[in-house]
Chain A
């Protein structure tokens, strides 16, 4: 195993917490209608706010951006997250009746089911949760 992969367990736990707690711990976040343009601008912040362990998420996000530098732009990341098939017919912005956390949870699960995963420092993460972390890094 290379030294880079040799994370201390403490670091590993931090990564994992970022990965596993992020989307699920706050899945009761109330749904918001995001139809107005002004509110659209708030989406990255609202998505990043779902991350309970922001600092750990930023480490993962930085790793993601290093591997996928072409996505190092909040608009690109947001487009990628919002255009996920599990976001529904009206897309993430139109998630009127569902809360954001639940939609993202569904997206993450679908990612895993469809093998849309990335490996960041050995962690197998869904593409969506990795992008969410990347978003937090850029904000």
Chain B
């Protein structure tokens, strides 16, 4: 059942058994796991079912340190949370991501990959990730697009799956199920302003809720789960400072610290030896019904030997200007449109215009075709010119002799698209840095609460790792005679390029550790020292990992649900 919290009378107190704060990927997953259980579950969502600018503006904040996106643009405050517009590229964390690595300060999870693996398989289905197969060799047996033959053992290709746009939103998939769940009540437009505890701050007694419309009420429960996102989880704990002045769970000054992102920057480029180098595997493509995308990185052995953090490279081929220009031409658009309609046996709109565009292209090139032939048959001389031409010359001759359509068809049929160069964009698994943090700022939101102040910071090892990864991959490309790589960042490990950005992933602000001196939550995601407060979401990640966060945070939510179910027996 869904209830608009704006209809709840002031000062009312709602009673429930489990309170989940936040209806994003983690919160929805938890609520679904509790559906049908013999206890009442309340899901509190700040937003509604649709985006709302006033609610969204509650995310506004300030940012220092490395440049960051406007905070109110970095997350969606509505049912389904950021799954309503996420990139949906998914790849599991590796075993090494969970390990304490002596060259990476503050690395290491209290759990291992094996502890989450069973949940990973379930999370994959929940996130609508197409296949349980993450094995590159297995995909390569079915993929027409090969990986680059880097055989030195230092660099590797990696495979990720991309969820189709239509399948990405948790709200779309799970709204009806949550609505029908007899024991789950969802309050929309309900902003948690404070978590209240007993005098010793050893147990949560309730939460205070405010609506932008002005009404305020309270909720009491036996168990509370904070699932409001990588920044907001920390903010709510910091706001809850009635019993612990530094904020709940913050007795060791850890809440909000270790904020991590997966930094992106354009770090270099590759000039291929062969302009027709096949790099389609590294672009979005399909194998059967699954969408894949490849990346480049270093092997685990190399990362250990070199003592680096993981840096994954996204390859962005820049195709020849002639090819790109030809694809913008109206005759190509018309040709594509007509072919599409023909394939689907549909009648085209504006038929005459499209046919005339295509005909104009053919007429431009009529000098190269035999006159009076029933089909466009090239003149032998024109054909000879093309066949004998070098790739670059062919690129120039084809459109001029036979028109843009012939050029585009040639590129499509023969996969002959020439590459000018390949841009390399990073994705870094950064060193957990205590000075990279979320804290309460001096500005206040319309509910009167301090807004977030973000100070995002990276570490010298992060920059060093980017450079070293590029050096090694550059050398491996050279060894395989595939091309040469240029590094586009300087050698100062303390500075970052102006285009350094986040990957829209917020992690680490309530990190997991069995030691309360080193983490906010324990291995079961329970806040240290508070018996009935748990945290779900990527804020518990002690390291950002080489995989993507959503599947892992859903896995951890499933694991947490099992833990709480056991506790509720």
Q: Do A and B bind each other?
A: yes
- Which residues of A pack against B, CB within 8 Å? 1-2, 5, 7, 9, 12-13, 15-17, 19-21, 24, 105, 108-109, 111-113, 115, 117, 119, 121-126
Decide: B475 and A112 in contact? CB cutoff 8 A.
yes
Decide: B481 and A109 in contact? CB cutoff 8 A.
yes
Decide: B479 and A112 in contact? CB cutoff 8 A.
yes
Do A113 and B487 contact each other (CB < 8 Å), given the known contacts A13-B421, A124-B470? no
Do A123 and B486 contact each other (CB < 8 Å), given the known contacts A13-B271, A113-B152? yes
Decide: A123 and B421 in contact? CB cutoff 8 A.
no
Decide: B488 and A115 in contact? CB cutoff 8 A.
no
Residue of A21, A108, A112, A121 with most chain B CB atoms under a 10 A cut-off = A112
A106 to B479, CA, bound (A): 9
Instruction: Give the nearest-CB partner of B269 in chain A.
Output: A12
Decide: B421 and A115 in contact? CB cutoff 8 A.
no
CB distance from A7 to the nearest CB of B (A): 8
Decide: B487 and A122 in contact? CB cutoff 8 A.
yes
| Chain A residues near B271 (CB-CB < 8 A) | 12-13, 16-17, 19-20
A16 to B421, CA, bound (A): 10
Do A117 and B474 contact each other (CB < 8 Å), given the known contacts A13-B271, A109-B481? yes
| Chain A residues near B268 (CB-CB < 8 A) | 122
Decide: B486 and A1 in contact? CB cutoff 8 A.
no
Instruction: Give the nearest-CB partner of A105 in chain B.
Output: B481
| Chain B residues near A123 (CB-CB < 8 A) | 484-487
Decide: B488 and A125 in contact? CB cutoff 8 A.
no
Residue of A1, A7, A113 with most chain B CB atoms under a 10 A cut-off = A1
Decide: A16 and B487 in contact? CB cutoff 8 A.
no
Decide: A124 and B486 in contact? CB cutoff 8 A.
yes
Q: Which residues B427-475 have CB closer than 8 A to chain A? A: 470-472, 474-475
- Which residues of B pack against A, CB within 8 Å? 152, 268-269, 271, 273, 420-421, 470-472, 474-476, 478-479, 481, 483-490, 497
Do A1 and B490 contact each other (CB < 8 Å), given the known contacts A12-B421, A24-B273? yes
A21 to B390, CA, bound (A): 15
Q: Which of A16, A105, A113, A119 contacts B483 (CB 8 A)?
A: A16
| Chain B residues near A125 (CB-CB < 8 A) | 478, 484
Decide: A119 and B490 in contact? CB cutoff 8 A.
no
Do A122 and B484 contact each other (CB < 8 Å), given the known contacts A12-B269, A13-B271, A20-B271? no
A92 to B451, CA, bound (A): 69
Decide: B273 and A20 in contact? CB cutoff 8 A.
yes
Decide: A115 and B485 in contact? CB cutoff 8 A.
no
A113 to B478, CA, bound (A): 8
| Chain B residues near A15 (CB-CB < 8 A) | 486
| Chain A residues near B152 (CB-CB < 8 A) | 113
| Chain A residues near B472 (CB-CB < 8 A) | 115
| Chain B residues near A16 (CB-CB < 8 A) | 271, 421, 483-484, 486
Decide: B490 and A12 in contact? CB cutoff 8 A.
no
Decide: B421 and A109 in contact? CB cutoff 8 A.
no
Decide: B475 and A115 in contact? CB cutoff 8 A.
yes
A119 to B497, CA, bound (A): 19
Instruction: Give the nearest-CB partner of B490 in chain A.
Output: A2
Q: Enumerate the 9 nearest inter-chain pairs by beta-carbon distance, A residue then B residue, closest first.
A: A124-B474, A16-B271, A112-B479, A112-B478, A122-B486, A112-B475, A122-B487, A19-B484, A20-B273
Which applies to chain B's interface (DSSP): helix, strand, loop or mixed?
mixed
Residue of B268, B475, B483 with most chain A CB atoms under a 10 A cut-off = B475
Sample 17 A-B pairs with CB under 8 A, ordered by A number: A1-B488, A2-B490, A5-B488, A16-B483, A20-B271, A109-B478, A112-B478, A113-B152, A113-B475, A119-B471, A119-B487, A122-B486, A123-B484, A123-B486, A124-B484, A124-B487, A126-B478
Do A117 and B488 contact each other (CB < 8 Å), given the known contacts A12-B421, A122-B268? no
A119 to B487, CA, bound (A): 9
| Chain B residues near A124 (CB-CB < 8 A) | 470-471, 474-475, 478, 484-487
A42 to B445, CA, bound (A): 78
| Chain B residues near A126 (CB-CB < 8 A) | 478
CB distance from B391 to the nearest CB of A (A): 13
Q: Which of A12, A13, A108, A121 contacts B478 (CB 8 A)?
A: A108
| Chain B residues near A2 (CB-CB < 8 A) | 490
Do A117 and B475 contact each other (CB < 8 Å), given the known contacts A2-B490, A20-B273, A124-B470? yes
CB distance from B38 to the nearest CB of A (A): 61
Decide: A5 and B490 in contact? CB cutoff 8 A.
yes
| Chain B residues near A115 (CB-CB < 8 A) | 472, 475
CB distance from B301 to the nearest CB of A (A): 15
A71 to B74, CA, bound (A): 53
CB distance from B467 to the nearest CB of A (A): 9
Instruction: Give the nearest-CB partner of A120 in chain B.
Output: B486
| Chain A residues near B475 (CB-CB < 8 A) | 112-113, 115, 117, 124
| Chain B residues near A105 (CB-CB < 8 A) | 481
Residue of A2, A13, A105, A113 with most chain B CB atoms under a 10 A cut-off = A113
| Chain A residues near B479 (CB-CB < 8 A) | 109, 112-113
Decide: A122 and B488 in contact? CB cutoff 8 A.
yes
Instruction: Give the nearest-CB partner of B497 in chain A.
Output: A1
CB distance from B317 to the nearest CB of A (A): 14
CB distance from A98 to the nearest CB of B (A): 17
A115 to B302, CA, bound (A): 13
A119 to B481, CA, bound (A): 17
CB distance from B264 to the nearest CB of A (A): 15
| Chain B residues near A17 (CB-CB < 8 A) | 271
| Chain A residues near B269 (CB-CB < 8 A) | 12
| Chain B residues near A1 (CB-CB < 8 A) | 488-490, 497
